[in-house]
Amino acid sequence: MGGTESKQAHQRLRSASLNGVTLPNSMELSFDPSWSKFKLHLLNSSSSEPVYTFNLPEGWWGSLILHSGPTADHPPLAAVRNTGKSGMGNLVTLPPLRPGQEVLEEKISRRRKGWMDIWSFAVPVPVRDQAGEKATTRVERFEWVSTGGKEVKGLHEWGRGWKLRRVAASHHTDAYADKDWDDDEKDGEDAAACEYERLHADSEVLAVWADAKGLNIKKAAKFEFVNSGATGELGEAWALMAVVSFVRVWQRYMQIVVV
């Protein structure tokens, strides 16, 4: 994992809680104006006020720590560390679902279908009983897919972006769950991507994000929860994982830009 600050953050998450975690449905990601501190801020789009801070204590290529407030002085709420031989794997640590339980550790895995990048993760979501109460949880898989479709047009950023969708049970696979960035599944022909999209055409889109135009320190990217992703019914762990994975994917592509 590397870095004293990163190690301390992962230890502190054992006593953190998902209770009271509230994420606006629409957020913007911005740089710390100094650049030297490697901090990112999540702003509430409706008020432009910072609500959470991401710290990159080891720079662009290191860990990512989400703090539970507008500054890095607030306690950590989630963290992502590098894994694998290449150091390009992504292991997310979230607070326990309930007090006394272990922290949640979930991987973000990357693969490619033709021209299409896909980043996926699994996370527990609530299962409601007949009375509508949260009775238990089940683990479901979700994936970020690059798109230039209608889902991202309303973000008023670049024409292309990303959509987060639920992976239908019939298409669920863990075959790529342990892959690193440099150990991608690659299909050489665009037909593979088109066929993959056709199979997932009915998958519900739960969130979208897109980069801002250029390296704008005031507005790096915009994120929105949509459809049932905006209702809260998928739970705090899912919402937190959606936001953390969005910023981690953004960080990975920024590593290419800043080299």
Domains in the chain and their CATH numbers? 4-258 (3.20.90)
Q: Which tokens sit at 49? A: 């006020």
Query: pLDDT (tens digit, 9 = 90+) per residue, 123-139?
Result: 999 987 767 666 788 99
| Terminal-residue alpha carbon distance, the chain | 21
Query: Residues of the chain whose pLDDT is less than 70?
Result: 1-3, 33-37, 130, 132-134, 156-159, 168-202, 213-217, 259
At residue 199, the 3 state secondary structure works out as helix
At residue 244, the 3 state secondary structure works out as helix
* C-alpha span between 108 and 131 (Å, rounded): 34
Contact 55, 5 (CB under 8 A): yes
DSSP string, 154-191: TT-S-S-EEEEEEPPGGG---TTTT--TTS----SSHH
Measure Cα distances from 200 to 167, 172, 174, 186 in Å: 8, 11, 17, 18
pLDDT value at residue 220: 86
At residue 35, the 3 state secondary structure works out as coil
pLDDT value at residue 214: 62
pTM to 2 decimals?
0.85
